[in-house]
Structure 1
């Protein structure tokens, strides 16, 4: 008689599912199949260490594209704050590589090769104006190509996501120009952002794939958040730093001299292919100027980074000057400002005069 009241198995399964109970037999049924060893092995190229050494010994040695900052076959990142001249230096490097002519003060050992520069920063007219002066328009080598973002482009229906769309477009550009060097200005424009690991990881993986698949050397420009110019530049200053640094082969930065107005400096931040040469004790100081219609950086010498950082007393003076300016704008007399900030009246007078000269 008990069997007459036994619920059908399907009813029991529905009740158990509603209670969050999963039968053991269902767990077994949903367990993933064991991976095929032959397919797993295909994911890796496996050889003895001696074979690896022999194979690599027979391949060409990667040469310097921009001294020890960027070597052939690397995915390199150049980063700096806004208005530091990242784009100007990137175009100067691309021009050097396409012509096979080194930038004064820096080594170039690679042979001339086509370069593709993807420009997300300037439109074509802005670019033309940057490299035009009273002497005329600068003549680049015909193997130096520039790509500009098409505002009318739309994601194709058959494309999975924007990242794949960008990589496909870059691939077409590489094939069309025959470029072996790719410069992207800048990485934040390739997707919505790279502040977090989740945003940076997929993009860096795809750029790595692009580099390996087509035998490229890639230079990617990136920004830094607002930084303290009293401390040395480090990998932590790169926006989305941790993931971007993990996946790039090399990185270098442009800093602004706080002691020589109008000067910039280059510093190595990461390198895998070569020993550090241009670290904190040996930065390259640059000056921006125009020669023969080409806006460019000129090398002026080697220095220690601490010589170009904002000094503590300078930072304190700037802080006090700002406080004086704020109180002065509120109508405080110079004598009252001096008393409140515990400064000499003559010092306050100089700070007010200096502030007024820049208003």
Structure 2
């Protein structure tokens, strides 16, 4: 055990939080997978548990590998990866998997493995934004120049994600606005970008309404979710009803591990609505503990920021760390009917491959920052992306 601790660097509390969430996730995923087995007819509960365990082991390998990379390389790496994710998003939008005949193109298959490209795109975009802000920290930002250098790549990525995944687009856009505000981007320009984003979204909805065959069911799905949430006495979505029943059944201490009843009726019980199953089985006490762990992770993120000596390191940790907490908050809010259904998973607990891996990649970046003691802003910002490619090839 002592040998293992010698090889892991960075904030040990974050390592512990990741391990606790991962270990805890086994029982809820195993329990909730009965819906996939006995209702959908997909595999076995033990098979889903093994798959989840393998994904988490690969996730820990990602964290370990990424946290060993000096975080200055992520700056230039984002420039290299940005064109790659744009191409991947375009391919996904054109050839991605559809669900139930609807245009929900979010996945492509690479080597036989399903991959959700929007999660990778969001991560790369946050690092790219952090790089831009750090490079311009001592300059007067000119709006026209920032439109080309910052907002053109951002808008291109978000436009490619929007048709298939509005909630992810909204989360990424919101997080980018938060980061640019913290990074010192002029407030009047942020207001303009926000207004432009709302105009683009309105235009997109009007186009989708005018040509429904181009993106069948997508805008209608968003509209139904908002109406089901906002209308008092209106008929709620089926999964929300079952989630509320699960939470009410759980009470203070829950019905016990593996004894959930609503897992057999609640769609996405092992992913999007796993928090409802956790409360049913472990009660409000269990739900509060999970919530507290995520807030502890948020606190440790700010501890890392306080110890970071560079602007890029600070913005990098914020850019990749805050979305994890934001996503967890949205998932729990949806399960408790405080927010419309969005399809966001609970980080490190819900089943799913890409979401686990990208969360682990982000945590690896945070740990890389916390593990780095001596680095200057000049070393980071003078990095040439081509040099990184050469070093990688060598």
**Higher strand fraction (1 or 2):** 1
TM-score by length of 1: 0.23
TM-score by length of 2: 0.22
Q: Which has the higher contact order (CA 8 A, sep 6+)?
A: 2
Q: Flag the structure with larger Rg.
A: 1
